[in-house]
Amino acid sequence: MLQKTPQPRHRIWWVRKIAQTISTAIFLGASFGIVRTAFTLPILLTFGHNDKTVVAAFDAIQELFAEPILPWIPLASFVLFGILVGRATCGWICPFGFLQDVIGEVNAKRREVSPRTHGGSLKVKYAILGMTLFVSGSLGLSLICGVGKEYKAALGVLARGPFSVLSPEATLLGLVPMLARMTFLHFLGVPPTANPLSWDIVWSRLNSMTWLLAMRLMILVFVMVLSFLVMRAWCRYLCPAGAFLSVFSRFSFLGLKRNLLKCNRCGDCVKVCPMLVRITEQPWEKMTDPECIMCLECADACGLRAIRPTFP
């Protein structure tokens, strides 16, 4: 029987953490002189963050449909990234994914959900994706046909982004820092010259939408608590951008290969997988599970070096 060989722990883990830190700093770093671009990536990064340097494809789809413009580039971003690297953007560069990792790793005694609950909950993100695309798509098409003005008015704040207005990521990276900054400036008596919105305008708008503000904060708290208890809970069960990517990632060129001569089916890879992918039950020659975020924790954990990324 093959014996496990000693291996440096967390080798790929460190590389991934550095990549996540650098990408988050670059994506949110316009204040530090990083150039703002319209480069569209399939990650979660709210339009409401003033210091962003790239565009989040899922937010762009919703915003463009509301204009109405058919969102070719954001759709291309999902298809191309999904086909080329699967959900690796979730595991390696998404700022909200990074936050999920950090919160999950703080809690050493995190729980694991039962396979039945896990299997059922996986479908929730597809439902969120379907609802968002249905509302945004139907609005966009009706506006293009010239019959959607009443529909847009009826949707109200949901018209520009049925998902974005409730997204915990937008609340955390957009609303909370903005409120903190405005409050700080207000109590210091400094006029917020850098932002065209004054405290009074912000306060009156938020007061007129107290229900929305309360709901957003509740969703944020719920997601944070869930992420503390269950590793990558948002990415596993709720993220519509991840769901959209996974439609294409099952055909991805990038995948994982398990060497059958080395693998003794010890299950170490399954235990460390943050997305609960049952790696030992996947095809050994190439695994492209729609839930796999290519974090390579399994490759790190395998003492026999049986798991390796493969392309194409």
Partner 1 sequence: MKQRLLASLMLTMGLSLLYLGIFDKQLGELWKLVKVVSETCIAGIP
List the one residue from 23, 100, 167, 227 that touches partner 1 (CB under 8 A). 167
80 binds partner 1 (CB under 8 A): yes
79 binds partner 1 (CB under 8 A): yes
List the one residue from 20, 24, 40, 227 that touches partner 1 (CB under 8 A). 40
170 binds partner 1 (CB under 8 A): yes
Q: Cβ of residue 216: shortest distance to partner 1, in angstroms?
A: 8
178 binds partner 1 (CB under 8 A): yes
206 binds partner 1 (CB under 8 A): yes
List b or e across 81-106, with b for residues whose CB sees 16 or more CB atoms inside 10 angstroms.
bbbebbbbbbbbbbbbbbbbbebbee
Stretch that binds partner 1, among 1-9, 121-129, 199-207, 294-302 (CB under 8 A): 199-207
Closest among 245, 68, 44, 55 to 163, alpha carbons compared: 44
Question: Measured in whole angstroms, how far is the alpha carbon of residue 229 from the centre of its chain?
Answer: 18
Beta-sheet pairing, 55-56 with 40-41: parallel
DSSP state string for 180-210 = HHHHHHHHHT---TTSSS-HHHHHHHHHHTH
Q: Cβ of residue 25: shortest distance to partner 1, in angstroms?
A: 19
Q: What is the dihedral of CA 9, 15, 16, 20, to 10 degrees?
A: 140
State how far the Cα of 56 lies from the Cα of 236, in Å rounded to an integer: 19
Helix (H) or strand (E) holding 233, with range, is: helix 233-233
Q: Cβ of residue 307: shortest distance to partner 1, in angstroms?
A: 19
Q: Cβ of residue 282: shortest distance to partner 1, in angstroms?
A: 13
Q: Which residues bind partner 1 (CB under 8 A)?
A: 36, 38, 40, 46-50, 52, 55, 59-60, 63-64, 67, 69-76, 79-80, 82-84, 157, 160-161, 164-165, 167, 170-171, 173-175, 178, 196-197, 202, 205-206, 209, 212, 248, 251-253, 288, 312
